[in-house]
Structure 1
Amino acid sequence: MVRPADPDTRSAVRRVVQLLDALAADDAELSIRDLAERTGIPRSSVHRFVGELVATGLAERGPAGVRLGTKLFEYGAAAPTSRTLRDAAAPFLHTLYELTSLTVNLAVRDGASILYLDKIAARRTRVPHSRPGGRGAVHATALGKVLLAFSGTAPTDLAFADRGLPALTEHTITSAARLSAELAAVRRAGVAYDVEESHQGLFCVAAPIRDPAGAAVAAVSVTGATALTQAERYSTTVMATARAIEHELTRRRRRRHPRPATRS
């Protein structure tokens, strides 16, 4: 018989997750004071939990504070879904980078945000808001919009609807009605654009990677510094990359689960 978890244990686990979330949200090292302010956890508790995280390799101490540990990278890399997607997509992401010389991203949706699984950074343009393991706003990114458009979920049903659609720049869509119209256009075109909606001075073009039923399981994009008219030039190449990854995922799926031979 499995005994229910002790309430104190559940509370401790939640606090540890809060601390890890705070560290994951910032590239910089955070002090005990920073972590306490961001999570609302008492400093004494933060100090104790951080000690345990460092001891287990889930966090590391640096010159200015604490950062995520490499142990978490091992766990993330071992996750079956992300590993399968990254492995299948990798050669096509590199080809896309070679063809465009732009930053290439692979992402999946996680509720009200997107989770970046992989990134090939361009030398010419700095794209600071995307990194493997990082997150972006689902309503303000081309990756997020294309994942929403092909998920079959209406904007009003989404988790972030209660909190509204926060503006990241002056170009961010903040109205559910406008987002709904945008998603309809994305479904017609098969591609989504983000022109300075998530970050000033940058554009993004994204296409869905779909399963056999047509639902988006991930999305691929290129990001650079240019206008919409220039961004549209890359849409065909990004969509072709998404289709290639779909075919590779299908091929791998069939190899793992071959159809039984039929008797003649």
Structure 2
Amino acid sequence: MRDGPAPKSVLARGAALLRACGESEGALSLAELALRTGLPKPSAHRLIGELVRLGLVERTPEGLYRIGLALFVLGQSAPSARELRDAALPYLGDLHEETHENVHLAVPDGSDTLFLEKITGRRATPIVSRAGGRLPAHCTATGKVFLAHDPRPPHLTLPRLTPRTLVLPGQLARDLAATRARGYGVNLEEAEVGVSAVAAAVYDRGRGPRPVAAISVTGGTRRLDVDRIGARVCAAARALTRTLSA
């Protein structure tokens, strides 16, 4: 269920419905949309119908709702995200060829990490993440990179996703200090059981001292060599930083 009061303006309500559709792994029913947004069911029904007519949401034959092609095309046209993704793709591809694991490009989004791109393959460990998806920052390697270098970190509720998720502020503070000291963030089965990740910060020197993105490699805990992968991820992040700062 959605935290906080339901949005009041028509624009905010429409945006809440779009976000609910975008954050879901699958299509949602009208009841699920109303629950996730806090909107009354009649209001959700009226607004989602308008979004369908605009092509921003599509209705499946089963009567469920998901993001429409028009919104996908619109999102792909966002200049900052497109330019960052285009610049990063060669480095993400190289990392995938070296590791044969899942490679992500992520950006900070409040208390979450948002995955702009994901490169995977048949030999990579199956994981839940997807391009356009998000996870809480405190339990992801990319998110820890953002939190570790944010002088004004967002308020975090620290939900537990697995038995190894860091849910105590003191634990997280120590982990973020270790992230700064070693130069990369590590997630050890904190977002998904059996899956770990390593991430490093990407900067654009023209946009200030905080990371604009992070690159990560995610795979099965048993076969992910954190130190070795950490060195490779850091090298890729530095190369992308040089490209963005040129």
Q: TM-score, normalised by structure 1?
A: 0.84
Aligned-partner residue type, residue 126 of structure 1: P
Once the two structures are superposed, the pairs formed by residues 175-190 of structure 1 within 5 Å of their partners are 175-190=168-183
Q: Which residue of 2 aligns with 1:158?
A: 154
Matched ranges for 1:137-176 at <5 A: 137-153=136-152, 157-160=153-156, 164-176=157-169
Taking the TM superposition and a 5 Å limit, the aligned residue runs for 1:54-93 are 54-64=52-62, 65-93=64-92
Given the alignment of the two structures, is residue 244 of structure 1 paired with residue 239 of structure 2, yes or no? Answer: yes
Aligned to 1:197: 190
The structure-2 alpha-carbon separation of the partners of 1:10 and 1:39, relative to structure 1 and needing over 3 Å to count, comes to closer
* Count of matched residue pairs: 236
Shift of 1:158: 2.1
Residue pair 1:203, 1:228 contacting (<8 A) in 2 also: no
Q: Following TM superposition, by how much is the alpha carbon of 1:200 offset from its aligned partner in structure 2, in angstroms? A: 0.7
Report the AA paired with residue 189 of structure 2: E
RMSD (Å), alpha carbons: 1.8
**Runs of 5+ in structure 2 lacking a partner?**
1-6
Secondary structure of 2:214's aligned partner: strand
Q: Could you give the per-residue CA deviations for residues 3-35 of structure 1, whole angstroms, max 9, x where no partner exists?
A: xxxxxx962112111211211121211122221
Paired position in structure 2 for 1:14: 12
Deviation by residue 1:199-242 (Cα, 9 ceiling, x = unmatched): 11101000000232542110000000024872322111111110
Q: AA paired with 2:127? A: V
Q: Using the TM superposition, name which of 164-173 and 28-37 deviates more.
A: 28-37
Is 1:226 the counterpart of 2:221? The answer is: yes
Aligned partner of 1:216 in structure 2 is: 211
Greater gyration radius: 1
Residue correspondence of structure 1 range 16-55 to structure 2 within 5 A:
16-55=14-53
Q: Residue 127 of structure 2 aligns with which residue?
A: 127
Matches of 1:47 and 1:229, distance apart in 2: 46
Provide closer, same or farther for how the CA distance between residues 229 and 82 of structure 1 changes in structure 2, counting only shifts above 3 A: closer
Letter of the 1:75 partner, please give it: L
Gaps of 5+ in 1: 1-8, 252-264
Match of 1:207 among 193, 200, 204: 200
Q: CA deviation at 1:50?
A: 1.4
Q: Output the CA distance in 2 between the equivalents of 1:221 and 1:176.
A: 24
Query: What percent identity do the matched residue pairs reach?
Result: 43
Please give the alpha-carbon distance, in whole angstroms, between the structure 2 residues aligned to 1:214 and 1:169: 32
Aligned to 2:4: none
CA contact (8 A) 1:111 1:158 kept: yes
Q: Secondary structure at the match of 1:208?
A: strand
TM-score normalised according to structure 2 size: 0.90
Asked if 2 retains the 8 angstrom alpha-carbon contact of 1:195 and 1:228, the reply is no
| CA-CA distance at 1:40 after TM superposition | 2.7
TM-superposed deviation, 1:152: 2.8
Q: Is the 8 A contact 2:107 2:214 kept in 1?
A: yes
